[in-house]
Structure 1
Amino acid sequence: MGAAPARDTLDDVAAAPPRRRGGGRGRTVAVVVAVAAVAAAAAVYATGTFDDGAPQQTASALPPATAQIKRETLRDTREEDGTLGYGPTTTAASRQQGTVTWLPDSGQQVSRGESLYRIDARPVTLMYGTTPAYRRLAPGMEGRDVEQLERNLKALGYDGFTVDDEYTDGTADAVLDWQDDRNLPETGVVELGQVVFAPDKVRVETLETEVGQPTAPGQKVLTYTGTEKVVTVQLDSEDQRMAREGAKVTVTLPDGKDVKGEVTETATVIVPGDGQNAEPETKVESLIELSGAGKETRGLDQAAVDVTFTASQRKDVLTVPIAALVALREGGFGLQVVEGSATRYVAVETGLFTEGRVEVSGEGLSEGMTVGMPQ
């Protein structure tokens, strides 16, 4: 006998003669499935009592169909539409006045220390970090952006300074060497617009200007994404429980293959409503990292996918088809157990409802027993 499940509350079902419950597949929560099944039930009367000395029904009262009690793991799942791609896009805007003299190709990857684009033949260099460049950096300045710059200089092979939040003379000397290598004016000061910070290497998504075009501070140059393929899903705000960080999911690719994934980021976003006067909607946007799906996703820069979330699961429990449940005259639910040419009713407690089956527990129930089913 399985562990006693949490009992569903169905107080709105009025007392009535035992009724077989109809059931169907769906992706609604358990209680909704249960109530819908009861509403569609066909009447079946249970005679006798539940103790061992109760008279049993004869073969003439055998149900028209039967099913077996199974022991399995039930999962409460929900399937949502997702998009396979490279994740959210970020816009790189110019911070300088000048002329665009070089741009990367769309789809090209750019790593730390490499040029993201060029203005007046001078490179705008990609470095790694989460704090955006927002000011010029010079000796005597302090802050997280200073430490971020120094960490990148160290990773690129420059030394003579301590990686901390202070821009010292040692930092300035390293910057001079870096500027010499990058064909930039050797000032020891990092001007705003010489560096773009991103969390990791990037993939150029779109070009927002052309070589030879003038540019000015604030003008879009290009957009970029991460380099790893991820799945983006938007859920209704009430379904946020499905997409908690670390949650395991299954992603179905366009060719029907399933790959495993994990929710790595979740954020609340506002999306425009459908229609001219529709109110904006609050959605939960989740990023899903795929596990070992390089071969399966090769050649798919962007594709529609299905994502299956698991809200809860019950391991190693007894289950029956939802339609096997009987609403008892005494209240609650039961099963019509078939034993040879006779039947008897057993009261049960119900747990998780999902995919046409329900978790049950009750006195004397065991895996492999036969229960009655409607025609």
Structure 2
Amino acid sequence: MPRRAVLVVVALAAGGALTAVLLSRSDSSQAADKDTAALPPKTAEVTRQTLTDSETVDGELGYGTTTSAVSRRPGTITWLPETGQALSRGQALYKVNNEPTSIMYGGLPAYRRLAVGSEGPDVLQLEQNLKNLGYTGFTVDDEYTSATADAVEEWQDDRGFDETGAVELGQVVFTDGPVRVDSLAASQGAPIAPGQPVLSYSGTTKAVTVELDAADQRLAKRGARVSATLPDDSTVAGRIDEVSTKIVPATAPEQEPTTKFEVLVAISNQKAPAPASVAVEFTASERKNVLTVPVAALLALQEGGFGVEVVGADGSRYVPVKTGMFAGGRVEISGAGIAAGIKVGVPK
């Protein structure tokens, strides 16, 4: 029986796209017309296995992304924390004119003066913090009442502010939780103006930050499990917590800006020393208990679709197959007569 004309697959692109050229597996164009064709130069076995699309990327173990704290009032920096110092709700992040900017927790930044008559989610956020700091006598809601002002006066007295009952911009900074001072941008004794950076801070939980190229976006799935290898070759389990897009400006006029994906990975082992360079293994997808062959065994049939050259005791034949996942130089296949242990032809 004459052999089918085939296209030999010569390249595999990212995402499973195939490239082929119009060539016979055999060097001789007449080989396809012989009833008994020469066997392929080499064979590989169809294997049943778990196929995993994974990639290892360098990352940095630290405390996650940093936030810049800027002054909201003019004056002189009279106190700054130490780099690496951990601070929590109620403590001063820094002091201007010997008055603290106190830490409170919340996702909404302070953006206005709060006083009797103010309403909104920022009022609710403030009152929740006052309650958690032990102040009472007011209803926790989104209305700033005289009872709220009384509690604020107590808080101001405890913190060294003038007891006005109103919260001025610069008296409070809202953070997501406890913070760790990453770096200082100002010096004690230096003048400061509104909008000038004072310091940067991060969370207190250790995490791994990884920058991925746009081509690796498939790896950045929030909630996905990863593993990180530390400098001592130990591994820690992790989970993707955040994925953000980062535009990197071009370095030359003829170049275009590039898109990167910044991935924040939460890790289970908080005793791992930081900062440190780590290797993070991402798994984009996984196919369990599937039949696979080397990608080099895959052929593009001239009549369409793909196949493999099945080799047996009485010669070889081309068998059409459906392709699935590509990973690690292998491809998932299925089709009539395809089973584990079958030999298929591959190039030398």
- Considering the TM-score relative to the shorter chain, is it more than 0.5? yes
Instruction: Please name the residue that 2:26 is paired with.
Output: 43
Instruction: Please name the residue that 1:364 is paired with.
Output: 337
> Does residue 28 of the first structure (1) align with residue 1 of the second (2)?
no
Structure 2 vs 1, CA of residues 237 and 371 (structure 1 numbering), >3 Å: closer, same or farther? closer
Please, which of 158, 161, 180 is the counterpart of residue 184 of structure 1? 161
> Matches of 2:333 and 2:310 in 1, distance apart?
13
Identity of aligned residues (%): 52
Instruction: Please name the residue that 1:320 is paired with.
Output: 293
Please, which of 58, 65, 73 is the counterpart of residue 88 of structure 1? 65
Which amino acid letter does the alignment assign opposite residue 126 of structure 2?
Answer: L
Cα displacement (A) at 1:19: 5.8
> Does residue 128 of the first structure (1) align with residue 73 of the second (2)?
no
Residues 39 and 316 in structure 2, CA contact (< 8 A), matched pair in contact too = no
May I ask how many residue pairs the two structures share in their alignment?
A: 342
> Matches of 1:289 and 1:134 in 2, distance apart?
30
Which amino acid letter does the alignment assign opposite residue 374 of structure 1?
Answer: P
Cα displacement (A) at 1:119: 2.0
Which amino acid letter does the alignment assign opposite residue 17 of structure 1?
Answer: A
Q: Secondary structure at the match of 2:14?
A: coil
Q: Bigger shift: 224-233 or 104-113?
A: 224-233
Q: Bigger shift: 93-102 or 140-149?
A: 93-102
Q: Bigger shift: 188-197 or 77-86?
A: 77-86
Which amino acid letter does the alignment assign opposite residue 298 of structure 2?
Answer: L
Instruction: Please name the residue that 2:274 is paired with.
Output: 300
Instruction: Please name the residue that 1:3 is paired with.
Output: none
Instruction: Please name the residue that 1:101 is paired with.
Output: 78
Instruction: Please name the residue that 2:314 is paired with.
Output: 342
Normalised by the size of structure 2, how large is the TM-score?
0.85
Which amino acid letter does the alignment assign opposite residue 137 of structure 1?
Answer: L
Q: Bigger shift: 111-120 or 321-330?
A: 321-330
> Matches of 2:247 and 2:340 in 1, distance apart?
49
> Does residue 212 of the first structure (1) align with residue 186 of the second (2)?
no
Residues 20 and 326 in structure 1, CA contact (< 8 A), matched pair in contact too = yes
Residues 249 and 310 in structure 1, CA contact (< 8 A), matched pair in contact too = yes
Structure 2 vs 1, CA of residues 27 and 196 (structure 1 numbering), >3 Å: closer, same or farther? farther
Residues 113 and 156 in structure 1, CA contact (< 8 A), matched pair in contact too = yes
> Matches of 2:303 and 2:13 in 1, distance apart?
31
Residues 24 and 32 in structure 2, CA contact (< 8 A), matched pair in contact too = no
Cα displacement (A) at 1:344: 3.3
Q: Bigger shift: 202-211 or 313-322?
A: 313-322
Which amino acid letter does the alignment assign opposite residue 347 of structure 1?
Answer: P
Structure 2 vs 1, CA of residues 280 and 344 (structure 1 numbering), >3 Å: closer, same or farther? closer
Structure 2 vs 1, CA of residues 141 and 41 (structure 1 numbering), >3 Å: closer, same or farther? farther
**Structure 2 matches for 1:1-375, cutoff 5 A?**
17-18=5-6, 21=9, 28-31=14-17, 34-35=18-19, 42-43=25-26, 45=31, 61-237=38-214, 239-275=216-252, 278-290=255-267, 292-295=268-271, 298-303=272-277, 305-328=278-301, 331-339=304-312, 341-345=313-317, 346-375=319-348
Q: Bigger shift: 182-191 or 75-84?
A: 75-84
Which amino acid letter does the alignment assign opposite residue 294 of structure 1?
Answer: Q
Normalised by the size of structure 1, how large is the TM-score?
0.80
> Matches of 1:258 and 1:46 in 2, distance apart?
52
Task: Extract unaligned runs of 5+ from structure 2.
Answer: none
Residues 27 and 78 in structure 1, CA contact (< 8 A), matched pair in contact too = no
Residues 225 and 283 in structure 2, CA contact (< 8 A), matched pair in contact too = yes
Residues 202 and 225 in structure 1, CA contact (< 8 A), matched pair in contact too = yes
Structure 2 vs 1, CA of residues 267 and 354 (structure 1 numbering), >3 Å: closer, same or farther? same
Cα displacement (A) at 1:62: 4.6
Cα displacement (A) at 1:322: 1.4
Structure 2 vs 1, CA of residues 192 and 21 (structure 1 numbering), >3 Å: closer, same or farther? closer
> Matches of 2:201 and 2:299 in 1, distance apart?
58
Q: Bigger shift: 226-235 or 148-157?
A: 226-235
CA deviations on 1:107-149 (whole Å, 9 max, x unpaired) are: 1111111111122222221110111112221112111111111
Which amino acid letter does the alignment assign opposite residue 309 of structure 2?
Answer: Q
Q: Bigger shift: 258-267 or 114-123?
A: 258-267
Structure 2 vs 1, CA of residues 312 and 172 (structure 1 numbering), >3 Å: closer, same or farther? same
Residues 22 and 42 in structure 1, CA contact (< 8 A), matched pair in contact too = no
> Matches of 2:156 and 2:129 in 1, distance apart?
14
> Matches of 1:122 and 1:363 in 2, distance apart?
79
Structure 2 vs 1, CA of residues 313 and 39 (structure 1 numbering), >3 Å: closer, same or farther? farther
> Matches of 1:204 and 1:288 in 2, distance apart?
20
Structure 2 vs 1, CA of residues 214 and 318 (structure 1 numbering), >3 Å: closer, same or farther? same
CA deviations on 1:251-292 (whole Å, 9 max, x unpaired) are: 3444444443332222333221123664433433332222x1
